[in-house]
């Protein structure tokens, strides 16, 4: 879906992605100030993080849909379609480069960016609605969304209404944003640098692991959706790291003679 402004054709997909990016920067600005960091870094950081995030997102999507792009190589560059895991990986690489260059605390800046990132995902998913993509299996539920025949996947042409996966993820992403913002404030005396990013990985990993079961066509490894492999690894790995960082070590109290009390 698109609309015209003078000579420019504006795609709603791009509008939603832009709104998501702006929301992420605004939230990160607020978080940077709250944590006593210089928010001006955000605007310089964005020049590295956003392009690498877009490249990573596009690369993941192309690999995911390689059966299509191998037959249509001309659409690899400039086409629509992004993968969030690729965006996170590319953006993280950009953040590592910038914080290393400016001698900033990487984990602290990960925590500053994480809440805005998941909010941007929740907003950006509405771009899938306008493109009539990211829908699940056919459904007769009241909230099923109609998909035009031209956008129905092969084998499902006879169905009209499908699970709105974009909506499911959008709601859960925004809930995740609220959770991270509350956790960052309520638990600020107990959290360590990097914990908010770990909580983001756990939250989004669980969300994505569940929602992959609704998808019709997915990239699989060993018969299991690739996104589930990644999500499961993120959830388990992040939970283990979080536990190791906060486990209480047993303290042994000794008496005057050196024996344990």
- Report how far Cα 171 is from the mean position of its chain's Cα atoms: 13
Please give the structure tokens belonging to residue 17. Answer: 């992605």
Q: Please, are residues 39 and 108 in contact by the beta-carbon 8 Å criterion?
A: no
Asked if residue 125 belongs to a known ligand binding site, the reply is: yes
Q: Name the E strands within 69-120.
A: none
3-state secondary structure of 4: strand
Q: How far apart are CA 191 and CA 202, in angstroms?
A: 15
Minimal CA–CA distance to 132: which of 119, 118, 120, 150? 150
| Max CA separation in the chain (angstroms) | 88
Q: Please, are residues 164 and 144 in contact by the beta-carbon 8 Å criterion?
A: yes
> Binding site residues, as ranges?
125
């Amino acid at each position: 879906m698109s609309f015209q402004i003078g000579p420019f054709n504006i795609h709603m997909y791009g509008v939603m992605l832009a709104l998501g990016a702006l929301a992420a920067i605004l939230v990160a600005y607020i978080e940077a100030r709250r944590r006593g960091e210089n928010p001006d870094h955000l605007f310089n950081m964005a020049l590295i993080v956003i392009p690498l995030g877009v490249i990573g997102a596009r690369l993941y999507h192309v690999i995911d849909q390689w059966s299509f792009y191998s037959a249509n190589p001309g659409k690899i560059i400039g086409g629509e379609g992004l993968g969030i895991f690729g965006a996170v990986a590319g953006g993280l690489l950009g953040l590592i480069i910038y914080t290393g260059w400016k001698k900033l605390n990487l984990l602290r800046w990960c925590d500053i960016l994480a809440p805005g990132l998941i909010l941007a995902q929740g907003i950006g998913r509405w771009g899938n609605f306008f493109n009539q993509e990211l829908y699940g299996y056919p459904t007769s539920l009241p909230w099923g969304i109609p998909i035009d025949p031209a956008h129905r996947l092969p084998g499902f042409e006879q169905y009209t209404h499908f699970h709105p996966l974009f909506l499911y993820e959008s709601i859960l992403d925004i809930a995740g944003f609220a959770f991270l913002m509350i956790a960052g404030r309520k638990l600020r005396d107990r959290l360590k640098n990097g914990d908010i990013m770990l909580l983001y990985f756990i939250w989004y990993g669980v969300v994505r692991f569940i929602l992959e079961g609704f998808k019709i066509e997915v990239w699989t490894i060993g018969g299991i959706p690739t996104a589930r492999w990644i999500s499961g690894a993120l959830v388990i790995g992040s939970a283990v790291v979080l536990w190791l960082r906060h486990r209480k070590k047993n303290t042994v109290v000794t008496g005057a003679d050196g024996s344990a009390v």
